[in-house]
C-alpha cells in the first residue's frame, strides 16, 4: 500500500496504522480485508431494511457493519454505525434512519479509495 493511499484512507477516517498493527504489520492482509469489506452485502441489507422499516434486520446489518469497521479501524464509520445501533436499540428509529445521510457518503468515500487497491 503506497503512502498516498494511506494518507487518503486516513483522511477518510481509517486509522491505517492501527489496522496494520492489529494485523501484525501485514499490509497485504489489510488490503484483502478492505476489498472484502467493499464487497460485503450488509450495507445493501441495511439500506433495504431501512427502506422497509425492518428494525430487526437493520439492527443486525448495522451491528455487523459496526464490528467490521471497528476491526478495520474505520473510526468514522465505526462511530456512525455505533450511534445507529444505539439509536435502534434505544427505539429512536428516526435517528437511526437519519444517520444514513452521514453513513452513506462516509462509506462511499472509503469505498472509492478501496477501489484503487
pLDDT at site 96: 98
Residue showing cell 486516513:
10
Domain that holds residue 87: 3-114
Strand locations in the chain (E): none
The total number of structural domains in the chain stands at 1
pLDDT at site 107: 98
Q: What do you get for the CA distance between the two ends of the chain, in Å?
A: 8
Mean pLDDT of the residues in the chain: 98
Count other Cβ atoms within 10 Å, centred on residue 9.
24
pLDDT at site 75: 98
Burial of 53 (0-12, 13-18, 19+ CB in 10 A): exposed
Summarize the confidence of residues 89-116 as an average pLDDT. 98
pLDDT digits (tens, 9 = 90+) for 27-69: 999 999 999 999 999 999 999 999 999 999 999 999 999 999 9
Angle subtended at Cα 44 by Cα 90 and Cα 34, rounded to the nearest 5 degrees = 100
Domain CATH number, residue 75: 1.20.120
3-state DSSP call for residue 100?
A: helix
pLDDT at site 74: 98
3-state DSSP call for residue 74?
A: strand
Burial 36-49 (b: 16+ CB within 10 A, else e): ebbeeebbebbeeb
Contact (CB, 8 A) for 88 and 62: yes
The reply to whether the predicted model has a pTM over 0.85 is yes
Confidence label for 81 from pLDDT (cuts 50, 70 and 90): very high
pLDDT digits (tens, 9 = 90+) for 4-22: 999 999 999 999 999 999 9
Amino acid at each position: 500500500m503506497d503512502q498516498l493511499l494511506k494518507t487518503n484512507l486516513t483522511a477518510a477516517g481509517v486509522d491505517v496504522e492501527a489496522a496494520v498493527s492489529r494485523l501484525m504489520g501485514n499490509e497485504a492482509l489489510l488490503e484483502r480485508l478492505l476489498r472484502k469489506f467493499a464487497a460485503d452485502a450488509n450495507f445493501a441489507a441495511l439500506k433495504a431494511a431501512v427502506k422497509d422499516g425492518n428494525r430487526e434486520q437493520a439492527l443486525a446489518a448495522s451491528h455487523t457493519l459496526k464490528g467490521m469497521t471497528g476491526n478495520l479501524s474505520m473510526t468514522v464509520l465505526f462511530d456512525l454505525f455505533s450511534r445507529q445501533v444505539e439509536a435502534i436499540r434505544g427505539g429512536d428509529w428516526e435517528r437511526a434512519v437519519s444517520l444514513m445521510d452521514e453513513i452513506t457518503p462516509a462509506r462511499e468515500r472509503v469505498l472509492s479509495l478501496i477501489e484503487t487497491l
